[in-house]
Amino acid sequence: MISVSLRGLLGRKLRAALTGIAIVLGVAMISGTYILTDTIDRAFTTLFTESYAGTDAVVTGRGLDISIDGESPPNPPVDASLLDTVRGVEGVALATGTVLDERNTKILTAEGKAVSSEGAPTFGFGIDTAPELDQFNPLNVLEGRWPASADEVVIDVGTADDQGYSVGDMVEISTLQPKRSFELVGVAQYGSLDSLGNASFAVFTIPAAQELLDRQGQYDAISVAANEGIAEDELVAAIEPVLPDTAKVVSATAEAEDQVDEVNEFTAIFRYFLLVFAGIALFVGAFVIFNTFSITVAQRTREFATLRTIGASRRQILGSVILESLVIGFAASLIGLGLGVLLAEGIEGLFRALGVELPTADRVFAMRTVIVALVVGVGITLAAGLFPAIRATRVPPIAAVREGATLPKSRFAPFVPWVAGIAVLVALVVLARAMFTDELGTADRLLSIAAGVLLLFLGIAMLSSHVVRPLAAVSSPIGRWAAFAFAVLFWPLWLLPYWLMRYGAWGPGSAARRVGAFVGGALLNPLVALVVLVMWLRRAVTSWVPEWPAEFPGVVPDRVAARTGGENACRNPSRTAATAAALMIGIALVAFIATLTNGMKVSNREAIEEQIAADYVVTSLDGYTPFVAAAGDALAASAVPELVTSVRSDGGLVDGNSAEIGGIEPDAIAEAYVFDWREGDESLLATLGTTKAVVSSNYAEDHDVAIGDEVTIRSTADRTAKVTVVGTFEPPPFYPLLESVNVSRELFDSLYDRPRNRWTWANVAGEPDDGDRARMEQAIAGFPDTQLETREEWIEREDADFNQFISFLYVMLTLAVFVSIFGMINTLVLSVYERTREIGMLRAIGMTRRQVRRMIRQESIITALIGAAVGLPLGIFLAALVNRALAEYDIRFAIPWVQLVVLTIVAIVIGILAAIMPARRAARLDPLRAIAYE
C-alpha cells in the first residue's frame, strides 16, 4: 500500500512540486532566519570570548543602573593611578589600562564626511600594544603595525576596504577634538571576525586616545591577568578591597557573559521578527496545500473507490493520503532547509541594501535549525492535508462504477457557515481583548493579536465561498478590461529594441550611453525576432488560422471565452474561495501595513510640523544619535543665522528611574520649538535657571509628578541636582522632539562631562536662501558627523527613512504572496486537468486556442480579484483596529488610496501571470484526445 501511494505521488510530479513549493518557501524562511541569527550570535560570542581570552578580571568605573530602550550607557572611566594600585595586588600577574569610547570616534571618507555607521558603535581605542601585554589585546593587526606616536592610527579592515584606505595613507578622524589627520600605520580586525557589521574602530596610542577622547589621566577599563593557579573569583576578591567606591571589578567570564546576553537579547527580537514572516508564508502555504489536496482527492474519487472495491479499508485510504502529504512535506522541508542557506544570504543582502551591515562569521547550521524546519514543515503539511485525507475516506466504493463521480459532501458541510461565523466572532472578541484590555502584558497582547488574526483569516476564508458568486459578477468585467489594458500597455515592449537602437543612432546623451543603448537594442532584437519566429512557426506547423488582425493584442475581451472563464470561477465556489483566500491573506497584510504606516507617516509629518518652527535643522548623519555639542556652538559663532539653539540630550536617573534628560536654552528654544503647554506657559522658560525643569505631560502622568514637586536628577557622570517641576507640555506622542525631562542647558552642562546635542535649530532672517545655507554648512564643516537641512528637507528624509522600513516589510510579505501565486497556478493546472474533456469539447465545437487561454486567464483574474476584494477591506479593518489600540500615540487613520489601487492592479497582474502556464497547457490539448480521454 505504501508503494502504491508513493507511486501515485511520482505519477503526479508537477502537482507534488507545485504543492511542495508552498512549504519550501516558508521553511526556507525559518531555516534562513535561524542560520542568520545563529551566525550573528556566534560572531558576537566569539568576539567576546576572544576579547577576554587572556584576561581574568576587568576593573571599570561604577556606572549608574540606567536602561533606556534596553540600552545601558557605558561605565564611566577610572583614574589612571588605579592601574598601579591593581598591579600591586597580590596574585596579579599582569594588568593594563585601556581607553575605549563607543561613539565619538568617526573615521572620515575622502570627501570629509563621517563613515555612516547607522547607529552601530564607532569605537575609539587607546591600547598599550607592548608585546608583553598582547594577551589583553582583542585586536589583531592584519597589515602594518600598531601606532607608536600620537599622529598614527590603526583602523578596522572593513572600513579601510570600504573607503579604499591603505597603510601609509593619511586618514582624517574626528573625535571629541576637532578633526585631525593621522597616518594609517596598520589595519586590524576584532579577534578573528571578518566584519563587525556597521561598527568601525580606530586605535590610537594611549596618550593620544586620552587626549582625543577627553579622558586625561583616565582609563575606561583595566584588564587583569592572575598568577598561575589563582582562580578568577579569587582574583576578583583580592582586587575588590583596594578599589575606591567609584570603581568595580568583575571576572572576565561574567563580563563576557553579560555582553553575550545583551547581544542575544537583540538577536532574539530580530529572530522573532523574521520568524513572523516565515509564519505568514507557512500559513498561506497551509491554505495552498489544503486546497491542492482537496482538489486532488476530488479528482481521484474514482481511484479511491476502485481501491475500496478491491479491498482497501478506510484506514488504508487515509494512510495513503497522509503518507503523500508526509512525503511532500518532508521533501519540501529538506529543500527549504537547504534554500534557507541562500535565503540567509538574501536577508543579509537586503539589510545591506538598507545600509545595515550584519556582523559575519562562518555560517552556523545548528541541529536545532534542522529539527525546527522539519517539524514545522512536515507538521503543517500534515495538518493541512488531514482534512482532505479524511474526506478521501468518505468516498463510497460505489463511486467506482459511477461516471463523473464527485466527492460526497462532508458530513460537516452544513455547519461550515456557522463554524465560520463563530470563528469570526471569536476572532473579533480575542482581537478586541488584545487591543483594549489595559493590564495585558506585551507578550500576551501580541499572542492574542496573532491568534485573533489567524482565526479571523480562517473564518473569512471559510465564509468567502459564499461571496464568490456576487464578487465574480463584479470582478468579471473588471478582469476582462484589465487584461485588455494590460496587453495594450505592455504590447509596445516588443518595440523596445528598436527604440533603443534608434536612440543609439540619433539620440542625445553621452557616447557611452548611446553605444550601450545601441548594443543593448541590437542584442534584444534577435531575441524578440526569435520569439516572434517561434510563435509564427508554431502557428504554421499547427496550421492554425492566424487570427491576429481581428484581435490585435490577443486579449480583446471576448464574450464567449471570458464569460465561460467567469462562470468556471463560480462553478466550485469553495475551491475558488480557498484559492483566493491564500492571496487574500497576503493582500490583507500588505493593505494592513500600507494603511497603518500611511497613518504613521501622516502623524509623523504632522508631529514634526507642529513642533518645529526653525528654518534649519542640524542633526548627526544618521539623524538620531546625538552629536558633538561644539557643532552647535560653531554654527552660532558663524553669526549667519539670526538664532541658533541646541537641545542637549543624554540618559540619566530621575528619582531613581531611567529617563532621557534634555538641556534647552531658556531664552531661545521657544523661537524654534513650539511648546504645547498643558500647565504653565512660555514665560516659565526664562525662570528655569539651575533649579527648575519642565517635563512632558506623559512623563508627569507616568511618574506621578505634579507642578511644584522636586525631583532629583542623577547624570551618568554621577553628579546630582535637585530641580522643581514648574511646567508640563504635551508634545505629539508619535514623535516628541524634546526629551521628557528638560532642564536649562547651563544645568545640563554642569551635570555631564561631554554634553551632546540631539538637535541644533537655526532661524535666518527673512526667507532661507542658498547663500546662507552655504555659509552655515561651511561653519559646521569641521564636524563631519553633522548635516544641515532645511525644515522641509529634514521632514522629507524622515519620511524616506520610514518608507525604507515599509519597503522592507513589503519585501518580506512578498514571500507570502509568492506562495499564494503558486497556489493559484496549482489550482488552475488542476482545474484544467479536471476539465480536459470539457475543454476538448469546447475546442471541438470551435473554440480557438486563443479563446481557451483567454478563458483560463479570465478565471485566474477573477480569483485574484476576489482575493483583493476580500483582502483589502480586511487589511484596512485590521489597520483600524491596531490604530485604535495604539491610541496613546495619536496615530492618524489615513487610507492610502494610491497604494490600494496599486495593490488591486498587482492582484490582476498576479492573476494574469498565474494563468500563463495553465492556459498554455489547456490550449495545447488536442481536442480529439481530450474527448477520448477517460
Partner 1 sequence: MNGNGDGPVVVAADVARRYGQGETAVDALRGVSVEIERARLTAVMGPSGSGKSTLMHILAGLDKPTSGTVAVAGTEITTLGDNELTKLRRRHIGFVFQFFNLLPMLNARENITLPLTISGEKPEDGWVDKIVGDVGLSDRLSHRPSELSGGQQQRVAIARALVSKPTVLFADEPTGNLDSTTGNEILELLRRSVDDYGQTMVMVTHDARAAAMAHRVLFLADGQIVRELGECNAHRILEVLEEIAA
Binding site for partner 1 (CB under 8 A): 1, 3-4, 7-8, 10-12, 302-303, 306-314, 316, 396-398, 400-401, 403, 934
* C-alpha cell, 471: 464578487
**Residue number with CB closer to partner 1 (4 or 781):** 4
CA pair distance 857, 915, nearest whole angstrom: 5
Residue number with CB closer to partner 1 (306 or 697): 306
**Chain-centroid distance, C-alpha 389:** 37
Smallest separation (angstroms) from partner 1 to the CB of 318 = 12
Nearer to partner 1, 63 or 396 (CB): 396
Min dist CB 920 to partner 1, Å, is 22
Residue 312 or residue 374: which is nearer to partner 1 going by CB?
A: 312
CB contact at 8 A, 176 and 756: no
Please, which residues have CB within 8 angstroms of residue 380's CB and are 6 or more apart in sequence? 23, 26, 282, 285, 286, 289, 329
C-beta of 305: minimal distance to partner 1 in Å?
8
- What gap in Å lies between CA 64 and CA 541, rounded to an integer? 84
Q: Work out how close the CB of 919 gets to partner 1 at its nearest, in angstroms, rounded to a whole number.
A: 24
* Smallest gap from residue 5 Cβ to partner 1 (A): 10
Distance of closest approach, residue 807 Cβ to partner 1, in angstroms: 46
The residue (of 307 and 922) whose beta carbon lies closer to partner 1 is: 307
From 760, 757, 794, 792, select the one nearest 641 (Cα to Cα).
Answer: 760
Shortest Å, Cβ 827 to partner 1: 21
Output phi, psi for 766, to 5 deg.
70, -155
53 versus 398: smaller Cβ distance to partner 1: 398
CB 815 within 8 A of CB 285: no
SS3 per-residue string spanning 335-364: HHHHHHHHHHHHHHHHHHHCCCCCCECCCC
* Cα 554 to Cα 395: distance, rounded to the nearest angstrom: 43
Nearer to partner 1, 248 or 300 (CB): 300
Nearer Cβ to partner 1 (153/321): 321
Give 516-574 as a DSSP string.
HHHHHHHHHHHHHHHHHHHHHHHHHHHTPPP-TTTTTTS-S--HHHHHHHHHHHHHSHH
Query: Strand 218-219 to strand 200-204: parallel, antiparallel, or no bridges (unpaired)?
Result: unpaired
Query: Cβ closer to partner 1: 391 or 853?
Result: 391
Instruction: Name residue 340's amino acid.
Output: G
Q: What is the rounded distance in angstroms from the CA atom of residue 576 to the CA atom of residue 860?
A: 9
Question: Is 245 or 403 the residue whose CB approaches partner 1 more closely?
Answer: 403
Shortest Cβ 304–partner 1 spacing (Å): 10
Residue 295 CB, shortest distance to partner 1, in Å, is: 17
Q: How many angstroms separate the CA atoms of 898 and 901, rounded?
A: 5
The rounded Cα 303 to chain-centroid distance in angstroms is: 47
Least separation in angstroms between CB 1 and partner 1: 6
Q: Are 141 and 150 in contact (CB under 8 A)?
A: no
Nearer to partner 1, 405 or 454 (CB): 405
C-alpha cell at 594: 500600507
Give the C-alpha separation, 487 to 200, whole Å: 51
Question: Residue 695 belongs to what H/E stretch?
Answer: strand 692-696
Kindly tell me which of 306 and 814 has the beta carbon lying closer to partner 1.
Answer: 306
Cβ proximity to partner 1, 106 vs 300, nearer residue? 300
Rounded to a whole number of angstroms, the minimum distance from the CB of residue 403 to partner 1 is 8
Give yes or no for a contact between 674 and 705, defined as CB atoms under 8 angstroms apart.
Answer: no
DSSP 615-663: SEEEEETTSSS-EEHHHHHHHHHH--SSEEEEEEEEEEEETTEEEEEEE
Distances (CA, A) of 384 to 371, 433, 817: 20, 28, 18
Report, in Å, the least distance between residue 485 CB and partner 1: 42
Length of the chain: 934
Report in angstroms how near the CB of residue 11 gets to partner 1 at its nearest. 3
